[in-house]
């Protein structure tokens, strides 16, 4: 999975691959392979061979995160360029219809809205589980839920339209 990371004022492209508890990450010319576990919400244990580091992660109201490692704090903002492209909305189409699509096959675990509901940009719409991770799909704009094309428990394919917002 390719992501954009903003750490403080620094911006980096990062590529992350996960296989069970093993996470490989590549940033610029550096590559890391770690065993990662989450013993409790907001606490991550990172093991590199015999070295163990803990990271505390908390979300800010703005959607970015504050990460504390070894007493040092970092403001971190992660964006998924595929999710931005897949939202179906840009400034030129803000007044039109928006489609929320899934980027990979998975299972709908929760539907957070009802057809006809009024939503604001950033509101959670639907939660899809893919590769043992749950992803909350958010509304890219203010509007009304015109269509719900999936129900809880249904299987979805990459590119499927899950919610239409007008």
State the CATH number of the domain containing residue 68.
3.30.700.30
**Tens digits of per-residue pLDDT, 75-88?**
888 887 765 444 44
Q: Write phi, then psi, for 122 (nearest 5 degrees).
A: 95, -10
* Beta carbons within 10 angstroms of residue 93's beta carbon: 12
Q: Are strands 143-148 and 155-156 parallel, antiparallel or unpaired?
A: unpaired
Shared domain for 7 and 71, answered yes or no, is yes
**For the domain that residue 103 is a member of, what is the CATH number?**
2.40.50.100
Shared domain for 43 and 97, answered yes or no, is no
Q: How far apart are CA 66 and CA 7, in angstroms?
A: 10
Instruction: Please say whether the beta carbons of 102 and 112 come within 8 A.
Output: no
Nearest 5°: the CA angle 134, 114, 112 is 20
Sheet with strand 155-156: strands edge to edge: 133-138, 124-130, 106-111, 155-156
**Tens digits of per-residue pLDDT, 94-117?**
457 888 888 778 899 999 999 999
Tens of each residue's pLDDT in the chain, 166 residues: 888 888 888 888 889 888 888 889 898 889 989 998 877 778 888 898 889 999 998 887 666 788 899 889 988 888 877 654 444 434 333 457 888 888 778 899 999 999 999 999 889 899 988 878 888 888 888 999 999 999 999 998 877 889 999 8
Position 61 scores a pLDDT of: 66
Nearest to 140 by CA among 91, 103, 67: 91
- Domain end among 79, 112, 131: 79
Shared domain for 72 and 127, answered yes or no, is no
Q: Which residue is associated with the tokens 């839920």?
A: 145
- Domain end among 44, 60, 79: 79
Parent domain of 29: 2-79
Single pTM value for the model: 0.47
- Domain end among 79, 104, 121: 79
């Amino acid at each position: 999975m390719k992501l954009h990371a903003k750490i403080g004022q620094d911006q980096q492209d990062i590529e992350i691959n996960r296989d069970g508890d093993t996470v490989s990450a590549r940033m610029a010319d550096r590559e890391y392979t770690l065993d990662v576990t989450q013993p409790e919400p907001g606490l991550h244990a990172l093991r590199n061979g015999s070295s163990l580091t803990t990271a505390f992660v908390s979300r800010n109201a703005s959607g970015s995160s504050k990460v504390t490692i070894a007493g040092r704090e970092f403001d971190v903002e992660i964006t998924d360029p595929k999710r931005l492209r897949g939202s179906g909305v840009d400034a030129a189409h803000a007044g039109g219809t928006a489609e929320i699509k899934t980027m990979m096959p998975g299972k709908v675990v929760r539907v957070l809205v009802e057809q006809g509901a009024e939503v604001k940009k950033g509101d959670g719409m639907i939660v899809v589980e893919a590769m043992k991770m749950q992803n909350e799909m958010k509304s890219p704009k203010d509007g009304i839920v015109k269509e719900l094309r999936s129900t809880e428990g249904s299987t979805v394919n990459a590119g499927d339209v899950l919610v239409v917002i007008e």
